[in-house]
Amino acid sequence: MPRLLLILLLLAALPHAQSQPQPRPQVASPQTQQALNVGDIPFDPALDDPHFQLNDSTRVFQYYNSNSWWLDHKSAYRALFLKAAGELPAGPSAQTQTQNGWLTIRFIVNARGETGRYRLLEMDSAYQSFHFDPRLSACLLAATKRASWVPAHYHGKTYDTYQYITFHL
């Protein structure tokens, strides 16, 4: 019996002896930042303004980590986006009027209130990848860039913040 107990203890300890500590992810500079969390927007030199800088690339709040300023001003934003959509060149095409789905614009508001790293996600009403009329996408993106955005405030400090806005078309 003691021999069986010794074998069981050795077998139980074996996986712990073989495990190695996992290396910690390295924090990269803003120019080479890699996504560390789901939904992070790493810098892409082909898409992003190199002058847009984060205050702290290791701590970017999600939109839900603080009070969302834009939700308190939703009616003003709605008016801004409706006005922008009404100003589409030559009006919306018949194709645009029959397109249904969601267009999400995700971006970062840095601690100074500047915005950058815009990404678009478009899907149809069946949640499949889809592309809306490029004029409509460009119009909503331009209106999002023109709008005023406020970064997260928490315990008297201002933080870089991920934001997103979804349009149900």
Beta-bridge partners for 129: 123
Cβ pair 61, 39 in contact under 8 A: no
Quick: pLDDT tens for 92-101.
Answer: 554 555 788 9
Cβ pair 27, 58 in contact under 8 A: yes
Domain annotation covers residue 74: yes
Q: Give the pLDDT of residue 14.
A: 42
Q: How many domains does the chain have?
A: 1
Containing structural domain, residue 167: 59-169
Please give the Cα distance from 151 to 147 (Å, whole number).
Answer: 13
The CATH number assigned to the domain holding 83 equals 3.30.1150
Domain annotation covers residue 47: no
**Confidence category of residue 106, pLDDT binned at 50, 70, 90:** very high
> Does residue 116 surpass a pLDDT of 90?
yes
Please give the Cα distance from 3 to 66 (Å, whole number).
Answer: 59
Strands (E), the chain: 101-109, 115-124, 152-154, 157-159, 161-168
Domain annotation covers residue 155: yes
Quick: pLDDT tens for 6-49.
Answer: 444 444 444 444 444 444 333 334 444 455 677 788 888 999 99
Between residues 4 and 137, which one has the greater pLDDT?
Answer: 137
Least confident residue range of 97-101, 117-121, 151-155: 97-101
Measured from the Cβ of residue 162, the count of other Cβ atoms closer than 10 Å reads 20
Using the 8-state DSSP alphabet, how is residue 66 labeled?
A: S
Domain annotation covers residue 133: yes
Of the candidates 109, 113, 129, the one whose C-alpha atom is nearest the C-alpha of residue 121 is 129
Q: Enter the pTM of the model.
A: 0.69
Dihedral pair phi/psi, residue 124, rounded to 5°: -80, -175
Q: Give the pLDDT of residue 7.
A: 47
Beta-bridge partners for 27: none
Between residues 62 and 111, which one has the greater pLDDT?
Answer: 111
